[in-house]
């Protein structure tokens, strides 16, 4: 099943939205990370929180510098979603936790379909992607 999220222009880099297709009642979060689109199920594997309503952010990492001083760095800005309930953090691109865990959020394929392809989809004609102008973000669920 294909689900049209909306126009690419309405989801600029750094933005996200949650959509509610009939087939996925809890919703699916759609994210634009530096011009690339990703989608995750809006259910946190920890305790079922509305993950995609959380904060998109980076994360911190600690390194020991050559002079043995610890240094904390902010990395991966805009690539991490933090669950609003208990702040578990997940990679938007993969759905994996940023810490060692087998827990994972289900990712969904996202495609960008040009306007003329959208017209053909509405008409029920099989299509192939051709260009990306005046395009829509489409989920395969």
- Strand pairing report for 135-140 and 2-7: antiparallel
With CB under 6 A as the contact rule, the residue among 75, 86, 115, 131 that binds ligand FES is: 86
**Residue 29 found at the interface with ligand FES (CB under 6 A):** no
Give the whole-angstrom CA distance, residue 93 versus residue 31: 9
With CB under 6 A as the contact rule, the residue among 85, 112, 118, 141 that binds ligand FES is: 85
Give the whole-angstrom CA distance, residue 40 versus residue 93: 9
**Residue 44 found at the interface with ligand FES (CB under 6 A):** yes
**Residue 47 found at the interface with ligand FES (CB under 6 A):** yes
**Residue 106 found at the interface with ligand FES (CB under 6 A):** no
| Residue 136: Cβ within 10 Å count | 20
Of 41-49, 56-64, 97-105, 108-116, which part binds ligand FES (CB under 6 A)?
41-49
Residue (54 or 114) nearer to ligand FES, CB: 54
Structure tokens at 126: 């099989």
Of 33-41, 43-51, 59-67, 70-78, which part binds ligand FES (CB under 6 A)?
43-51
**Sheet strands side by side (includes 107-108):** 16-19, 28-33, 36-41, 107-108
Give the whole-angstrom CA distance, residue 126 versus residue 58: 39
* Chain residues in the site for ligand FES (CB under 6 A): 44, 46-49, 51, 83, 85-86, 88
């Amino acid at each position: 099943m294909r689900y049209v999220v909306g126009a690419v222009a309405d989801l600029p880099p750094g933005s996200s939205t949650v959509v509610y297709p009939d087939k996925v009642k809890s919703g699916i979060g759609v994210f634009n990370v530096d011009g690339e689109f990703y989608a995750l199920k809006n259910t946190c594997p920890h305790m079922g929180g509305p993950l995609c309503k959380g904060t998109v952010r980076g994360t911190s990492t600690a390194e020991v510098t050559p002079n043995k001083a610890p240094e904390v760095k902010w990395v991966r800005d805009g690539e991490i979603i933090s669950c609003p309930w208990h702040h578990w953090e997940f990679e938007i691109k993969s759905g994996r936790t940023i810490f060692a865990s087998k827990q994972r959020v289900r990712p969904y394929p996202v495609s960008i379909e040009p306007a003329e392809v959208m017209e053909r989809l509405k008409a029920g004609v099989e299509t192939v992607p051709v260009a990306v102008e005046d395009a829509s973000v489409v989920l395969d669920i």
